[in-house]
Amino acid sequence: MQTVKKDALLKKYHLKPVLPKHVAIIMDGNGRWAQKRHLPRIAGHRAGAHSIRELVRLAGELGIEALTLYAFSTENWKRPPQEVRLLMQLLKQYLRNEVKELLQNNVRLQTIGNRKDLPGEIQKELEKSIQATAHCTGLTLVLALSYSGRADITNAVKQIAAQVKSGKLKVDSITEKMITSALSTSDLPEVDFLIRTSGEVRISNFLLWELAYSEIYITKTLWPDFKTKSFIEALKDFQGRQRRFGGVTNIIGSFTKWAR
Ligand code: FPP
């Protein structure tokens, strides 16, 4: 059933069968979207939550395995307390309203970042939603909340250092794979595609280790305007890229062995 829907969508949008396995998005431009309409910033965040709903469904239907959204960085705590409070409220509302839709679309919810920094009621709501969707086998939706790429790497280094200290591991035996495994994203596929909206050309402390070989797509479109059409355009761009991983050229979609 899922494959039939996927095939129909590929045909409808003129996409090749090979899609990124793991898409990460820096959802930027909510404030500017609101400003342009003389609305409060929170109206932009609210509109941004609608984009999330649309793209989560589409990504799931296309058979993308994981979608990681940068919803709140550790730096975002520096925003005016009123905005932080409203963003947390919006997150709570999203979780309450969306679980049903996530279940319907077979989407499993996860988070990365320091959940303990979040208000208690949000932590509880998150735990409930994560548990409720734990059995889902379609898209994994990862919300990066109070997330910092550097903090995640630091944490991984501490775990490895503790093994060295206890004598279980020799310094010379440390591998890249061990670091990858110690990160909060260890159970997810490689991030092969990063999208950033609103035209800023920065990584902003997002998935620093994981983005090593990702294709990067930057669009001027503001996040609340980034809906199906924009996502399909981005995927088409991905499909036209040549992925070399430092080696020889591979045009995405040109080798059947890449197809899932
Ligand atoms: C950046 O826009 C966006 C954020 C800091 C938060 C992203 C949040 C949402 C999309 C909505 C809520 C999230 C969930 C999961 C329900 P900005 O405010 O920095 O925009 P600007 O650069 O134009 O000011």
Q: Is 94 in the pocket of ligand 1 (CB under 6 A)?
A: yes
Answer positive or negative: Cα dihedral of 6, 11, 52, 184. positive
Res 3: pLDDT: 85
Number of domains observed in the structure of the chain:
1
Residue 258 lies in a domain: no
Asked, for residue 174, whether it belongs to a domain, the answer is: no
> pTM to 2 decimals?
0.94
Is any ligand 1 atom within 6 A of the Cβ of residue 20? no
- Is there an atom of ligand 1 within 6 Å of 49 CB? yes
> Among 56-60, 109-113, 233-237, 253-257, whose mean pLDDT is lowest?
253-257
Condensed to tens digits (0 to 9), the pLDDT of residues 151-185 reads 999 999 999 999 999 999 999 999 999 999 999 99
Does the CB atom of residue 98 touch ligand 1 within 6 A? no
Check if the beta carbon of residue 226 is closer than 8 Å to that of residue 246: no
User: Distance between CA 159 and CA 157 in Å, rounded?
Assistant: 5
* Region of residue 175 (phi > 0: left; psi between -120 and 50: alpha; otherwise: beta): beta
99 alpha carbon to ligand 1 midpoint, in Å? 20
The answer to the question of residue 78 being in a domain is: yes
pLDDT at 253 (0 to 100): 56
Per-residue pLDDT, 1: 62
For residue 256, is pLDDT > 60?
Answer: no
pLDDT at 247: 77
Write the CATH number for 109. 3.40.1180.10
Q: How far is the CA of 216 from the centre of ligand 1 (A)?
A: 19
Of all protein residues, the one whose alpha carbon is nearest to atom 5 of ligand 1 is 72
Q: Which residues contact 192 (CB under 8 A, 6 or more apart)?
A: 20, 21, 22, 23, 213, 214, 215, 238, 243
Q: Residues 20-54: pLDDT tens digits? A: 999 999 999 999 999 999 999 999 999 999 999 99
Find out whether the beta carbon of 71 lies less than 6 Å from any atom of ligand 1. Answer: yes
Question: Which of 14, 4, 96 lies closest to 49 in space, CA to CA?
Answer: 96
Tens of pLDDT, residue by residue over 66-124, are: 999 999 999 999 999 999 999 999 999 999 999 999 999 999 999 999 999 999 999 99
> Does residue 94 lie within any of the structural domains?
yes
Q: Which amino acid is at 103?
A: L
Is residue 8 assigned to a domain?
yes
Summarised one tens digit per residue, pLDDT across range 191-212 is 999 999 999 999 999 999 999 9
CA 23 to chain centre: 6
DSSP state of 14: T
User: What is the position in ligand 1's atom list of the atom closest to the CA of 143?
Assistant: 15
- pLDDT of 110: 98
pLDDT of residue 246: 76
Residues with a catalytic annotation lie at: 28, 76
* Ligand 1: centre distance to CA 69 (Å): 10
Distance 10 CA to ligand 1 centre (A): 29
Containing structural domain, residue 10: 2-148+190-240
Is 60 within the bounds of a domain?
yes
Portion of the chain with pLDDT greater than 70, in percent: 96
Residue 69 in domain: yes
- Atom index in ligand 1 nearest the CA of residue 33 equals 23
In a domain, residue 229? The reply is yes
* 31 in contact with ligand 1, CB cutoff 6 A: yes
> Is pLDDT larger for residue 221 or for residue 250?
221
Helix (H, G, I), strand (E, B) or coil at 44: helix
Residue 2 pLDDT level (bands cut at 50, 70, 90): confident
